[in-house]
Amino acid sequence: MSNRFSGKVAIVTGSSNGIGRATAFLFAQEGAKVTITGRNTQRLEETKHEILKAGIPEQHVLAIATDLATEKGQDKLINETIKKFGRLDILVNNAGALFHDAQGRNGIAQDISVYDRTMEINMRSVVTLTQKAKKYLIEAKGEILNVSSMAAGPQSVSVIYYAMSKAALDQFTRSAAIDLIQHGVRVNSVSPGVVATGAGEAMGMTPEMEQKLSVFSQYFNFVESHKDCIPCGSVGRPIDIAHIIAFLIVNCLLISLDKRL
């Protein structure tokens, strides 16, 4: 295993499960000091346990249980990371959620509270966390990586508020990239297709609820049984996306060294 992140400090939001967990694991395996975070302490401990089991020193991992939908929670995440590791090189804005209407409605019929909750974690929290991390990322000439979704594309989807939040995130990525490059900070994003992460379970749904309520689950079942629709023939795994995130960050770091950004 290479040491592409040796000497770097990374925060990976949403690392108590799924894509974030795989990304934090990969970064730690490749030498980074990593802050892992989520609200669910048990799942957060599972992530930490996986990292330590791979032989990574305990002092390279900081677990912060916090709600990123609150600015207080975001302050805690940044402040404790700086207190422990003294710097911040990489911010992966991965935490996100696909909420469902309590009455199972889709499209524009979904209750507006679904819109508010979705925007709060998928978009607003990314903006405010980035604002709070900016100073440290500028000092380190660091990297921001936002996790978007193929749902942000121009095709229409029934999970309208989720798709809107990710389309807004894409525009934030483009505009923040232009804004922050003058300070030597690069901003990129990845837009995964369907990835098997157990997202419904992580949101507290029983398998029965998930089958019945989760649009994601229905979509997942569809693609699982129509693999001919997927060019590579299989549903994505969290580690596949983690590798893309690592690739983007490492190569941006190399470009920045070449240009002395």
| 152 near ligand NDP, judged by CB under 6 A | no
The nearest distance, CB 147 to ligand NDP, in angstroms, is 4
Distance CA 143, CA 24 (A): 15
CB-nearer residue toward ligand NDP: 141 or 243:
243
Contacting residue, 10, 11, 19, 253, with ligand NDP by CB under 6 A: 19
The nearest distance, CB 256 to ligand NDP, in angstroms, is 25
| 67 near ligand NDP, judged by CB under 6 A | yes
Give catalytic status of residue 161 as yes or no: no
Beta-carbon neighbour count of residue 150 at 10 Å? 13
Distance CA 161, CA 88 (A): 32
Distance CA 166, CA 152 (A): 5
Residue with tokens 């805690």: 76
| 144 near ligand NDP, judged by CB under 6 A | no
Binders in 200-219 for ligand NDP, by CB under 6 A:
202
For the stretch 197-216, what's the b/e string if a residue is b when 16 or more beta carbons lie within 10 angstroms of its beta carbon? bebbbbbebeeeebeebbbb
CB-nearer residue toward ligand NDP: 7 or 207:
207
The nearest distance, CB 189 to ligand NDP, in angstroms, is 10
Binders in 238-257 for ligand NDP, by CB under 6 A:
none
Residue 147 phi/psi, 5-degree rounding, is -100, 110
Q: Number of residues in contact with ligand NDP, rule: CB under 6 A?
A: 28
Which residues neighbour 190 within 8 Å (Cβ) at sequence distance 6 or greater?
145, 146, 147, 148, 241, 244, 245, 248
| 127 near ligand NDP, judged by CB under 6 A | no
For residue 131, the one-letter residue type is Q
The nearest distance, CB 119 to ligand NDP, in angstroms, is 12
DSSP H or E run through 135 = helix 125-140
The nearest distance, CB 115 to ligand NDP, in angstroms, is 15
Instruction: Considering only the stretches 55-63, 82-90, 104-112, 188-196, report the one whose residues sit in contact with ligand NDP under the rule CB under 6 A.
Output: 188-196
For residue 204, the one-letter residue type is G
Contacting residue, 27, 163, 192, 245, with ligand NDP by CB under 6 A: 192
Angle at CA of residue 29, ends 66 and 202, nearest 5°: 35
CB-nearer residue toward ligand NDP: 177 or 244:
244
| 114 near ligand NDP, judged by CB under 6 A | no
CA atoms within 13 A on the CB side of 30: 19
Site of interaction with ligand NDP (CB under 6 A): 14-20, 38-40, 43, 67-69, 94-97, 121, 147, 149, 192, 194-195, 197-199, 202
